[in-house]
Amino acid sequence: MTASHTSDCGAIFPLLDRWLDRELSPAETSAVQIHLGDCPSCSAIVARRTALRHRLRGVAAAVEAPPDLAVKIRRQLYQPAPSFFSRNWLLAPVAAALLLVLAIGLSTSYQRGGLRFTEESQEFYISSISPQTVPVMRVGLQQHVHCAVFRKASAFPSPAQMAEWLGPSFQKIIPVVESHLPRGFHVVDAHRCTYHDRQYVHLAATDGKRLLSLLITDREQGEAFESDLRAVAAQSGVRLYSSGVQRFSLAGFETPGHLVYLVSDLDNSDNLAALKVLTPEIDSALRRIENT
């Protein structure tokens, strides 16, 4: 019988994996089963491959999704993103009227006609451009587009109102940013807001034609520019990163506790230069906040 084992093994061996996968025809399954009952070496191979699959399945199954992932997904699916005006319900009718006026005044398009002022198309636009940059940069891009581009208001808040919205920790940043902005730009809005469950400190500036956002958000576990991008410059020992999506230029840096973004309609190099100027002051302000 040893001679027949050897001759059968050549034909049966290539079928062993498909037999384990239950993907053979009934005739082939039967042939393999008969052979295995009579061939210790093929049976040993089957035993090892079965054991390896069990180990593989076991170790892969040990990876668990973060507990809050289901919550994040449900919020994303079932709840509309909170708007700039949702922090004060009294502003909701104003927002609706403002959006209507903007919609009529500017037709249904923004700039090149690509962006329409409906919640669904805004989200669609944001989700369509987001994959064009790395995840850590999307955090800044999405908030700029969602809040500064789509939610831009014609009546801007007073400096006192902006300071109140930012609170004692961050209100000192407003004059710092104002004095270091590119020529012609002025801070026109500063507030705290939430987008897709993430809190931001948002300073928006304009020179009358172009928009610029300085965004600060808490750095979540595992988030780092370095993991997806190479630093393109450094300022006062702080590494700066840059990216671009369509007309939006993105630059950012991180502190131990925060991610900072400058997103604008400027050229990439001008946007990066603008962040370079702001970096020393913003970096030290955030580190002071983090150390208190």
Give the footprint of another protein on this chain (CB under 8 A).
17-18, 21, 23, 41, 44-45, 48-49, 51-66, 69-70, 72-74, 76-78, 127, 131, 134-135, 222-223, 227
Min dist CB 198 to another protein, Å, is 13
Min dist CB 267 to another protein, Å, is 23
| Type of residue found at 96 | A
Q: Which is nearer to another protein, 77 or 160 (CB)?
A: 77
Q: Which is nearer to another protein, 74 or 288 (CB)?
A: 74
Q: Which is nearer to another protein, 136 or 251 (CB)?
A: 136
Q: Which is nearer to another protein, 139 or 166 (CB)?
A: 139
Min dist CB 250 to another protein, Å, is 15
> Following DSSP, what letter does each residue of the chain receive, concatenated?
-HHHHHHHHHHHGGGHHHHHTT-S-HHHHHHHHHHHHH-HHHHHHHHHHHHHHHHHHHHHHT----TTHHHHHHHHHHSPPPPGGGGSTTHHHHHHHHHHHHHHHTTT-STTTT--SSHHHHHHHHHHHGGGS-HHHHHHHHHIIIIIITS--SSPPPHHHHHHHHHHHHTTHHHHHHHHSPTT-EEEEEEEEEETTEEEEEEEEESSS-EEEEEEEEPPTT--GGGT----EEETTEEEEEEEETTEEEEEEE-SSEEEEEEESS-HHHHHHHHHHHHHHHHHHHHHHHH-
Q: Which is nearer to another protein, 1 or 62 (CB)?
A: 62
Min dist CB 62 to another protein, Å, is 7
Min dist CB 39 to another protein, Å, is 13
Q: Which is nearer to another protein, 18 or 152 (CB)?
A: 18
Min dist CB 26 to another protein, Å, is 16
